[in-house]
Amino acid sequence: MAWRPFKRTKGGEGCHPQRVEATRSYIKSVCPYLYKYSHTDDCSFPETTTVINIKDQFGPCRKSADIVFVIDTTTNMNYDYYITYLLGFVQNLTQMVDVDGGRTRIGAIGFSETASVEFYLNNFTRTVDILGALRRVKYGGYDANLAEALFLLRTALFTPSNGARQDLGVSRTAVIITENVSMNQTATLIEAGLVMKAGIGVAVVGVGTYLNNYELSAVASYPYNKTLFTVGTARNLSQLQEPIKRLICSGSFTDGWMDGWMKGWMDGWKDGWMDGWMDGWMGR
């Protein structure tokens, strides 16, 4: 991200201190965690920006996890917001986990009218390489084929041949970020059920107002009031970094889904199996 420096005043003096501080405040508001500016006596900033270690701000995440980011790439969000806030949010989450130490593996799926694998869980072993790959996630399209993205999540990403680990101590987690209603709600709900049956924990982040909360709550793991997050604008995504990091680090919400499924299954014997199962699945 490039910033245009203010010109120096005549005589070589630096800019007014208030102007310097205003510029720094603007940068901090746009990229609150990802970038650090250097102190300077004028209003210019270095060409090379230093990446902050997010672990230093939020504390390290020691949980072993395979994490897949499922990213809505549609043009419903303008390009600047997509690059700065949405991808910045995913990059910040990436820095909160232990990739370099080997505890965490990260993959990514992008989706619009179709879904595609951006990179697999075994493609990168260094945080810096993942950050670079995330910056290259393609932008474009109008409709959101979340069903296909969930299908790829289950059949292409969380497979041993593509880096998914089968160890009991490794959690299987997906973080879905979308700003759209899916193209096919029925197909999306079917795929969501298969993803959860596969033991993949799902956190969902909805951005904006063009959302179907019922659909998103069905995609999120049980109980969805702890795994579904919404913000009115992408500018507020940074507020969700800490709660989602806690979910990733605990790795516990897949167990919560199983508890809900079992509750629904048991209730189903007296209330109608499918109705009971759905109530338990939806957390009602």
**Segments making up each domain of the chain, as ranges:** 10-51, 56-251, 260-284
Residue type, 162: N
Q: What is the mean pLDDT of residues 164-189?
A: 95
pLDDT of residue 252: 62
**Statement: residue 190 has pLDDT above 80:** yes
State the sign of the Cα–Cα–Cα–Cα dihedral 29, 95, 213, 223: negative
State the sign of the Cα–Cα–Cα–Cα dihedral 266, 270, 271, 275: positive
Q: Which residues, in sequence order, are CB contacts of 59 under 8 Å at separation 6+? A: none
From residue 232, give the alpha-carbon distance in Å to each of 54, 180, 208. 24, 13, 4
**Statement: residue 30 has pLDDT above 60:** no
Residue type, 73: T
From residue 272, give the alpha-carbon distance in Å to each of 57, 186, 192, 267. 49, 21, 22, 8
pLDDT of residue 41: 39
Residue 207 φ then ψ, to 5°: -120, 130
- Indicate the fold that domain 56-251 takes in CATH: Rossmann fold (3.40.50)
pLDDT of residue 253: 61
Spatial distance between the Cα atoms of 84 and 237, rounded to a whole number of angstroms: 11
pLDDT of residue 85: 96
Token couple for 277: 């199962």
Per-residue DSSP letters for 82-141? IIIIIHHHHHHHHHTB-TTTTSEEEEEEEESSSEEEEE-TTS--SHHHHHHHHHT-----
Are the C-beta atoms of 144 and 111 separated by less than 8 Å?
yes
Q: What is the mean pLDDT of residues 154-165?
A: 97
Spatial distance between the Cα atoms of 175 and 108, rounded to a whole number of angstroms: 9
* Banded pLDDT at 168 (limits 50, 70, 90): confident
Token couple for 96: 């909160």
* Banded pLDDT at 56 (limits 50, 70, 90): very low
pLDDT of residue 249: 85
**Statement: residue 150 has pLDDT above 50:** yes
- DSSP code, position 47: S
Least-confidence region, from 44-48, 131-135, 217-221, 233-237: 44-48
Q: What is the mean pLDDT of residues 236-240?
A: 95
Residue 222 φ then ψ, to 5°: -75, 140
Q: What is the mean pLDDT of residues 59-88?
A: 91
Are the C-beta atoms of 227 and 253 separated by less than 8 Å?
yes
* Banded pLDDT at 1 (limits 50, 70, 90): very low
CA torsion angle 186 188 193 195 (round to 10): 160
pLDDT of residue 33: 37
254-267: string of b/e by CB count within 10 Å (b at 16+)?
Answer: bebbeebbebbeeb
pLDDT of residue 61: 75
Q: Coil, strand, or helix at residue 177?
A: strand
